[in-house]
Amino acid sequence: MPMIKLKDILTEGYDLVSDRDYLPALKNIVTNLRRFKTAKILYRGFKAVVPRKNNTQLPFVLVNNIEERDFKGMHNLVAKRTIAGLRHKYEFKHSPVFASFDKNNAKKFGEPYIFIPKGWFEAFQNPNIPDIGLIKTADFQYDIQDLVNGYEKTLSSHISKEAIIDIKQYYLIKPEHIKRMSSDKINIGDVKTYPELLKIIERLIEIEEDRIQRAGPRAFAGPFRIFQSPKYDPAKKLKVLMRSEDLKILKADIQRMLNIEISPGVSAASVNSQDGYYITTPSLDYWDNVSISKVQDAFKQANQKTTELEFEYQDLDDHDEETDQRKWESSIIFTVKPKGTQ
């Protein structure tokens, strides 16, 4: 049975909520969640390529529903014509967005994220169509206009598993990320409704506000805050650093300035009793004054481009070998802190 995938129908823009906007975004989500008194949670599959940083680092993304764009992959004529008829009848302001009350159905189109409308929206459901993508074009026996007329302007899990939504922006939250960002023991699988989710997000706000109050005015929100405190496990810091797009910027500038090979990974080091890191440079044996100056310039240039992290050049090590055949590659040693902190 052919199924039209949502990723084929829709091409959407999206923004990762930056660490600095973490708390304001949580408060915005709470404002939008308070509109739902009893509604069950909607899910949407999401597997877009994230250009700026790995989305697993962040608890949510803000999706911008791009207007005036062409549909893609409309090989299912029933879906194509029904959607076109629905848009015409109800004069959609934006391209239609699909969401499902069935988490398992959302998995067919990517990671199942919780769908939270931002601002104005209208939802449409047809009690006779649990999933428009499951209708086979070859044996379709109904009139398209009958399908269109069957849609109601409503949002209820009792009517249909699928909702077609006219909306400009919405948040997507990965359930596992909510659990990770909270210090409380949360069984996210038990959260079935938006009011239940609201209580959890309100608790996340309390946790974040308390942390900021204790940390002072220079506090940094979001996952990269771990670089502010020595109490976090160095291995966890290294894992977060490896996922950072800012690290890619630094490595690219080092390669460009020195025109040398550098290792794909980063290793942990101790620098003046604090957590540090080093990148090996196997194609270079010794650091001369010119190379040292270029490395320092690479750090300066990278820090002008990074958005979340600031890299502090510390030292260099030359290639070294011992008589027992142990050897150490030359390396660049540095420390990391969230941008904007002392």
What is the tens place of the pLDDT at every residue in 182-211?
656 666 677 899 999 998 888 888 877 777
| 213 domain-assigned | no
Torsion angles phi and psi, residue 294, rounded to 5:
-70, -40
Instruction: Please give the pLDDT value at position 55.
Output: 37
Does residue 31 share a domain with residue 152? yes
| 136 domain-assigned | yes
The list of the chain residues with pLDDT below 70 reads: 1-21, 47-59, 67-75, 136-142, 179-188, 214-233, 273, 321-327, 340-342
Does residue 305 share a domain with residue 167? no
Instruction: Please give the pLDDT value at position 71.
Output: 43
Instruction: Please give the pLDDT value at position 13.
Output: 53
Q: Which residues pair with 99 in a beta bridge?
A: 163
Does residue 125 share a domain with residue 79? yes
User: 0.75 exceeded by the pTM?
Assistant: no
| 216 domain-assigned | no
Q: What is the largest CA-CA distance in the chain?
A: 84
Q: How many CB atoms lie within 10 A of CB 31?
A: 10
Does residue 200 share a domain with residue 53? yes
| 218 domain-assigned | no
What's the domain count of the chain? 2
Instruction: Please give the pLDDT value at position 149.
Output: 93
Does residue 177 share a domain with residue 120? yes
- At residue 123, the 3 state secondary structure works out as strand
Domain end marker among 150, 174, 206? 206
Instruction: Please give the pLDDT value at position 125.
Output: 95
| 15 domain-assigned | yes
Does residue 177 share a domain with residue 280? no
Instruction: Please give the pLDDT value at position 161.
Output: 92
Instruction: Please give the pLDDT value at position 86.
Output: 94
Q: How far apart are CA 138 and CA 170, in angstroms?
A: 34
| 214 domain-assigned | no
| 332 domain-assigned | yes
Does residue 58 share a domain with residue 27? yes
Q: Outline where the chain has alpha helix (H).
A: 6-9, 22-33, 77-90, 103-106, 144-149, 175-181, 194-215, 234-243, 245-258, 289-305
| 222 domain-assigned | no
Residue pair 158/125 in contact by the 8 Å Cβ criterion = no
Q: How far apart are CA 223 and CA 66, in angstroms?
A: 28
List the one residue out of 46, 47, 59, 49 whose CA is nearest residue 18. 59
Does residue 108 share a domain with residue 65? yes
Domain containing residue 266 = 228-338
Instruction: Please give the pLDDT value at position 67.
Output: 55
Domain end marker among 160, 176, 206? 206
Domain end marker among 176, 206, 236? 206
Does residue 200 share a domain with residue 59? yes
Does residue 171 share a domain with residue 236? no
Does residue 89 share a domain with residue 197? yes
Q: Which pair of structure tokens corresponds to residue 279? A: 């990148």
Does residue 195 share a domain with residue 79? yes
The CATH number assigned to the domain holding 301 equals 3.30.980
Instruction: Please give the pLDDT value at position 330.
Output: 86
Residue pair 218/342 in contact by the 8 Å Cβ criterion = yes
